[in-house]
Amino acid sequence: MANRSMRIVGGGIEVPVDDDIHDLASEFLHDEDDPAPNPDLRPSQRVARIVLERSGLMQEFRDRIALGVPGVWLVECGADGWTNTLVRTIGKSLHISFDHYQWGRGFDLSLLARAAELGRHIIMTRDDDDDPFDDEIRLFALAEFDLRDDRPEDVAQIVSDHFGRQIDWPADLLPRRMPYHALDYALVYGADAAAAERLVRVQIAVEERKRAESAIRRTEEKEKEAARNASRRGSGAKIDILRPTSPRVEDLAGYGEAAAWASDLVADIAAYRAGEIAWSEVDTGALLVGPPGTGKTLFAAALAASCDLPMISSSFGQWAAAGASYQSDTIRAMRQTFEAAAANIPLLLFIDEIDSLPRRGMSARHDDYWRPIVNTLLECVDGTLRTEGIVVIAACNDADGLDPALLRSGRLDRRFEIGLPDAQALARIFAHHAPDLPAAAIEPVATALAGTASGADVARYAREAKRLARHAKRPIAGSDILQVAMPPETRSAAVVWRTAIHEAGHAMAYLATGRVPLAMSIISSGGAGGYVEGPRDVVTEQRLGDLESMVLPMLAGRAAEDVILGEASAGAVGDLERATTVLSAVEGGLGLGGYLTPGGPDRASVEARIRRVYGEALMLVLTHRIAILDLARLAVDRRVLSEDALRKFANERGLA
């Protein structure tokens, strides 16, 4: 089934999101019944305007805007390309823009109801391949229009005007049969009407061939997927039982409280095996939280080795890939993992990417899909942790979005932050991966990279440094590690300075409130020009002010560019996306915005809130402008600043 589409007036490029659509009314109060053609319309759009005026939809829309009364119209268009042409024609003719939404069978009507409440004018379109409009959708509509009344004489009129002489247009070349912009292309490159007709036919043939090839590919993919799913259902997903032996927990460095807890668990399991304590006295559930590459999976495997336990390692990604990504396949794979754990006790079960499962009620539009999956996980964790002989360790990058029920007592109630290693831990990790490197050479490298490099990073640095030394036919040196970890700068001085200002803005948003980031780097890596890793020790009450305070550092990098360099760059797009995600939840699912009832957020209200927080970020930058400049200069000089270096900087300026 092709997706139905809904266009909502009031968003997009031509009309700012905070404009009221009713402000456009005066423009149409004195319109002629037969308005003059818009000279900005393309030929295909002029054809579409003829059809729109003949149907009465254009006048209906014009009248509603003039009266300031919102409306909902259902429109039969026939084909996707024709739909796009019609909608763009309405927009250009009436000087308005559209937000565009698509949905299939699972569409939540609350989005439509919310748009109507906000006074937006709505056009809902349907192509011939779509299911008919539902009766519940028709309840919202003022009227239905059929725009499949396109005629060859409509095209003939526009083509005749273009070539300056009267021509006839073939009856089989109706506008809705033409690919999007086909007529526009034909009139640009066709020397006469006959050539234009040939070009249109060629484009139709090419489009039909593409559709046929696409249909064949979809059919083949469906057949392959059906075969894969049948195979999975017949045999069940294979679950490997791992038996790690090294490294052991006592061999690891940089795990802090998690290492102490693991040491106690090793002792408790030994006591349980000796009959000294009951299994109910063993701490069997924990959550590891930390950025990618900090060794959460390694920690779980080392714990299994120290406890002499076999291990199953799974993740939400594996469960979701067990079938056609349908809810039932994911739940089935999840249950199989926990059943395998129960069948192989004693055992350590490790679940990675658990933050891929959102908390229930977080998104009104998708909650019906996620809620049964989260409920199943809670049920499985409960049953498993009550089973004697199973330890469950879960891991995630960000625990803020986890369902609170997952973390309550008796489930994953022990939480450990796995941060980036400090200088001492980093030196031990370097010594493990590069035992030939003298301690005197390791120390300055570990100091420079403390709080900015993970254990996985160190393993890669050591591997690449060994290769450099091997190719040079000499022993590995500290300079090899630095060359790999901090490669020479290739960007221009202007780009480096902008990056430093941007990252200093992020860091200052933390420092100004007495919190010290864990690291700041302006080394380009992984598509990012630099980064600031904020403190992870802040637990809030999730009030509105708490969430806005979380967003402010995200926007402070862009604000620093804006204030200090005179304009912002597109490099802040990732920051804006993260800020929008948080504030959309505020306005939508969390009940902290203008509505208590959960629902889809209104773009205008999210924009207003993000602009207000951005204003606070601008004021912060203005207040601490000199300190930001000093921090940026320090970053350009050192390239990487550890938590200790940032704390020293803050202390020198009375910020911490």
Candidates 351, 356, 361; CA nearest to 398 is 356
In contact, 9 and 90? CB cutoff 8 Å: no
Q: How confident is the model at residue 576 (pLDDT cuts 50, 70, 90)?
A: very high
pLDDT of residue 10 exceeding 90, the answer is no
Long-range contacts of 489-493 (CB under 8 A, 24+ apart): 489/639, 491/524, 491/529
The single residue of 14, 223, 257, 503 carrying the catalytic annotation is 503
Check pLDDT > 90 for residue 37: no
pLDDT at 121: 77
Range 394-420 average pLDDT: 85
Maximum alpha-carbon separation in the chain: 102
Q: Above 60 in pLDDT, residue 1?
A: no
pTM: 0.48
| pLDDT of res. 142 | 81
509-542 pLDDT, tens per residue? 999 999 999 888 888 866 678 888 888 656 667 7
Q: Tokens 């519940």 sit at which residue?
A: 136
Q: What's the rounded Cα separation, in Å, for the pair 178 and 207?
A: 9
Could you tell me what percent of the chain has a pLDDT over 90? 29
What's the whole-number mean pLDDT along residues 112-123? 71
Q: Which residue has 């602009």 as its token pair?
A: 611
Structure confidence at residue 370 (pLDDT): 80
Q: What mean pLDDT, rounded, does the chain reach?
A: 82
Q: For residue 103, is pLDDT > 70?
A: no
Q: How many CB atoms lie within 10 A of CB 245?
A: 11
Domains and CATH numbers, the chain: 4-150 (no CATH), 249-417 (3.40.50.300), 425-485 (1.10.8), 493-652 (1.20.58.760)
Digit-coded pLDDT (tens) for 349-368? 999 988 888 777 665 556 67
- Give the DSSP per-residue string, 433-481: H-TTS-HHHHHHHHHHHTTT--HHHHHHHHHHHHHHHHHTTS---HHHH
| 217 CB burial (10 A radius; 0-12, 13-18, 19+) | exposed
- pLDDT score recorded for residue 490: 86
pLDDT tens by residue, 459-505:
898 999 999 999 999 998 888 888 888 878 889 999 999 999 999 99
Sheet containing 285-289: give its strands across. Answer: 311-315, 347-352, 390-396, 285-289, 414-417
Give the closest residue to 357 by CA, choosing from 347, 345, 337, 371: 371
pLDDT band at 323, cuts 50/70/90?
A: low
pLDDT for residue 394:
93
**Mean pLDDT in residue range 365-378:** 80
More confident residue, 118 or 357: 357
What mean pLDDT do residues 160-171 have? 91
Rounded CA separation 169/620 (Å): 65
Average confidence (pLDDT) over 305-312: 94
Segments of 234-346 assigned E as strands: 285-289, 311-315
Pick the closest to residue 249 from 222, 269, 279 (CA basis).
269
Is the model more confident about 395 or about 542?
A: 395
Cis peptide before 601 (omega within 30 of 0): no
Q: Please state the φ and ψ torsions of residue 124, each to the nearest 5 degrees.
A: -110, 125
Long-range contacts of 192-196 (CB under 8 A, 24+ apart): 192/163, 193/159, 193/163, 193/167, 196/159
Classified as helix, coil or strand, 44 is helix
The answer to whether the beta carbons of residues 452 and 640 sit under 8 Å apart is yes
**Which of 276 and 411 is assigned the larger pLDDT?**
276
CB atoms within 10 A of CB 457: 20
Nearest to 461 by CA among 523, 413, 406, 503: 523
Rounded to whole angstroms, the Cα distance separating 484 from 313 reads 31
- Confidence at 32, pLDDT banded by 50, 70, 90: very low
Decide if pLDDT at 392 tops 70. yes
Average pLDDT over residues 386-400: 88
Stated as kind and residue range, the H or E segment containing 392 is strand 390-396
Spatial separation of the C-alpha atoms in residues 158 and 606, rounded to whole Å: 43
What pLDDT sits at residue 113?
66
Report whether pLDDT(560) > 90: yes
Side chain identity, residue 59: Q
* Buried b or exposed e, range 230-241, using 16+ CB within 10 angstroms: eebeeeebebee
Please give the residue that has the higher pLDDT: either 588 or 156.
156
Surface-to-core class of residue 339, CB atoms within 10 Å of its CB (0-12 exposed, 13-18 middle, 19+ buried): middle
Provide the pLDDT confidence category of residue 159 given band limits of 50, 70 and 90: very high
Provide the pLDDT confidence category of residue 34 given band limits of 50, 70 and 90: very low
Q: Is 632 helix (H, G, I), strand (E, B) or coil?
A: helix
CA 582/CA 596 separation, integer angstroms: 17
503 is catalytic: yes
Q: Tell me what pLDDT residue 352 has.
A: 92
**By mean pLDDT, which of 272-276, 409-413, 445-449, 515-519 is the weakest?**
445-449
- For the chain, the distance separating the N- and C-terminal CA atoms, rounded to the nearest angstrom, is 59
Higher per-residue pLDDT: 297 or 115: 297
Q: Whats the size of the chain, residue-wise?
A: 656
646 near 533, Cβ under 8 Å?
no
Would you say residue 23 has pLDDT above 50? no
Give how far Cα 303 sits from Cα of 60, 261, 306, 381, 415, Å: 70, 10, 5, 19, 16
- At residue 15 the predicted structure's pLDDT band, cuts being 50, 70 and 90, is very low
Partner residues linked to 332 by β-bridges:
none
